[in-house]
Amino acid sequence: MPKYAQLVMGPAGSGKSTYCSTIQKHCQASRRTAKVFNLDPAAEAFDYDVYGDVRELICVDDVMEDEDLRYGPNGGLIFCMEYFAQNFDWLDEQLDDVDDDYFVFDCPEYTTPVYYHIEYTTSVCYHIEYTTPVYYHIGYTTPVYYHIEYTTPVYYHIEYTTPVYYHIGYTTSICYYIEYTTPVYYHIEYTTPVYYHIEYTTPVYYHIEYTTPVYYHIKYTTPVYYHIEYTTPVYYHIKYTTPVYYHIEYTTPVYYHIEYTTPVYYHTEYTTPVYYHIKYTTPVYYHIEYTTPVYYHIKYTAPVYYHIKYTTPVYYHIEYTTPVYYHIKYTTPVYYHIEYTTPVYYHIEYTTTV
């Protein structure tokens, strides 16, 4: 029977153990078996049931207390893992009775240079996965899950001309892929995989919190599903606390609404003015409620079914090149300019002077 495993890697605090615990609980709820094996000789406590523990072979505390070695925390951790890589017989004994169960290996909290340059990491990966005439092979199909956590805003710039934490993580994942020759899945905030690419035409002060898988690209070629409350499979939340200069170009329909409870959502909370430009090349179903002044320009190249409720001043100008049926309900003046190149079905109901 085929065997499967995951090698969960990443720096300290990136959520590797939390991820392992989540995988185990998910498998239990699905009536499947997932055994978590701790490979961190410096671990102190676990939120999951440990099937095997490398500390039974060697422990960092014992190495640091050895008067002959006199290692510190980092040196002791490297010594322990090199010792483990020279004693794979112990690991083979731990996994000897396992047939087709699923294993998750919780790796040590190393920095990227240690993961990439210390030979033991590739030795462990090869021993678990590859069959060779020389080494005993456990025989698992083993991808690497690389975790990184963003706890501060990410600053993006057009064509990535400024340093971006995201790209640091992405390039590191590529290094892991080259080093281990196994599939590498890149995790942000250690909860689920995120595959995404962002191209901005102006600077954006941006904070993203993902709690479910997000397949993301700002220049979209497929529909995008957005929501704040995380009540459906894919969600997205943005909270801006500083001015945002923002440009998005969509090539497929985008379904937007503020307070939806179905799988297509988008919610944005602005606490400062937003200078905003959107160019749509496909139909857009759109609803926005602003609580702060917005200077807004939209150029549509496809039919738009549109409703806006303003709670701030708006002064309005429209240039139509085709018949327009329109409806807007204003509660205050609006500063507004829209240039339409296709029919717009639109109605205005005024409650104040415009």
Q: Report the greatest alpha carbon distance in the chain.
A: 87
At 247 the pLDDT is 39
Do residues 204 and 240 lie in contact, with contact meaning Cβ atoms separated by under 8 Å?
no
* Model confidence pLDDT, tens digit, residues 130-161: 533 333 444 555 555 555 554 333 333 333 33
What single-letter DSSP state applies at residue 314? B
Where is average pLDDT lowest: 34-38, 207-211, 274-278, 313-317?
A: 207-211
**pLDDT at 215 > cutoff 70:** no
Chain centre distance of CA 304: 31
**pLDDT at 229 > cutoff 80:** no
Sheet of 274-280: strand order equals 244-250, 274-280, 294-300, 336-340, 316-320
At 255 the pLDDT is 38
Where is average pLDDT lowest: 76-80, 259-263, 287-291?
A: 259-263
Cα 241 to Cα 288: distance, rounded to the nearest angstrom? 18
With cut-offs at 50, 70 and 90, classify the pLDDT of residue 97.
Answer: low
Do residues 125 and 7 lie in contact, with contact meaning Cβ atoms separated by under 8 Å?
yes
230 phi/psi in degrees, rounded to 5: 55, 50
248 phi/psi in degrees, rounded to 5: -130, 135
Cα 139 to Cα 126: distance, rounded to the nearest angstrom? 10
Cα 314 to Cα 23: distance, rounded to the nearest angstrom? 50
**pLDDT at 28 > cutoff 80:** yes
More confident residue, 195 or 338: 338
Torsion of CA 320, 325, 330, 333, to 10 degrees: 20
| CA-derived radius of gyration, the chain | 27
**pLDDT at 73 > cutoff 60:** yes
Cα 246 to Cα 14: distance, rounded to the nearest angstrom? 29
**pLDDT at 226 > cutoff 50:** no
Architecture of domain 1-215: 3-Layer(aba) Sandwich (3.40)
Length of the chain: 354
Mean pLDDT of 55-80: 86
Determine which helix (DSSP H) or strand (DSSP E) holds 92, and give its type and residue range. Answer: helix 88-94
Do residues 252 and 217 lie in contact, with contact meaning Cβ atoms separated by under 8 Å?
no
At 165 the pLDDT is 55
Do residues 4 and 103 lie in contact, with contact meaning Cβ atoms separated by under 8 Å?
yes
Percent of the chain with pLDDT over 70: 29
In terms of Cα–Cα distance, which of 124, 13, 104, 108 is closest to 59? 108
More confident residue, 199 or 171: 171
Looking up tokens 């083993």, which residue turns up? 142
In terms of Cα–Cα distance, which of 326, 296, 327, 298 is closest to 312? 296
Looking up tokens 């959502």, which residue turns up? 265
**pLDDT at 31 > cutoff 60:** yes
Cα 92 to Cα 18: distance, rounded to the nearest angstrom? 26
Do residues 245 and 203 lie in contact, with contact meaning Cβ atoms separated by under 8 Å?
yes
Mean pLDDT of 241-259: 39
- Output the six-digit token pair for 333: 């003046």
Report H helices in the chain. 16-29, 60-65, 73-85, 88-94, 112-117, 119-129, 165-180
Cα 222 to Cα 94: distance, rounded to the nearest angstrom? 46
Tell me the whole-structure pTM to 2 decimals. 0.44
At 130 the pLDDT is 52
Mean pLDDT of 199-221: 34
Mean pLDDT of 187-197: 35
Mean pLDDT of 299-320: 44
315 Rama class: left (phi>0) / alpha (psi -120 to 50) / beta: beta
**pLDDT at 211 > cutoff 70:** no
* Model confidence pLDDT, tens digit, residues 114-132: 655 666 666 777 777 653 3
Q: What ranges do the domains of the chain cover?
A: 1-215, 219-354
- How far from 299 is each of 144, 183, 202, 340, CA to CA, in Å? 44, 42, 18, 6
Residues with Cβ < 8 Å from 262, sequence gap 6 or more? 232
Half-sphere exposure of 111 (CA within 13 A, CB side): 4
